Amino acid sequence: QVQLVESGGGLVQAGGSLRLSCAASGRSFSSDCMAWFRQAPGKEREFVAFITRLNLRTNYSDSVKSRFTISRDNAKNTLYLQMNSLKPEDTAVYYCAASKHYSTVAPNDYVYWGQGTQVTVSS
């Protein structure tokens, strides 16, 4: 059974940091493009960041660029998102996802999804 399980969410004050993890099981995701998306209440799911296989390339949405860092440990089959300088507008449920595309920001290109982890940033 293929699973992606996120962890590390929580409540943090503005300016604080959190590190999200996404543990994959069921098969290796080392050849997949892995990404983080987020969805705030009443809003559509939006792209946050992706990292290609072999860590060749990363891409970030403009809203998180220079504050968030995506990384992966293929040996542990785990994806990470280091979030610094958090803002109240970063409050959302964060999802990790896997795609067979080399690189993509489109949610529909991602086949596997985790259940999400809540991040709440207070002002």
Neighbouring C-beta atoms of residue 11, cutoff 10 Å? 12
The residues pairing with 12 across neighbouring beta strands, listed in sequence order, are 121
Residue 48 contacts residue 35 (beta carbons within 8 Å):
yes
Digitized pLDDT (tens) for each residue of the chain, 123 residues in all: 889 999 999 999 999 999 999 999 998 888 899 999 999 999 999 999 999 987 789 999 999 999 999 999 999 999 999 999 999 999 999 999 999 999 999 999 999 999 999 999 999
Measuring CA to CA, which residue among 6, 33, 32 is closest to residue 20? 6
- Helix (H), strand (E) at residue 52: none
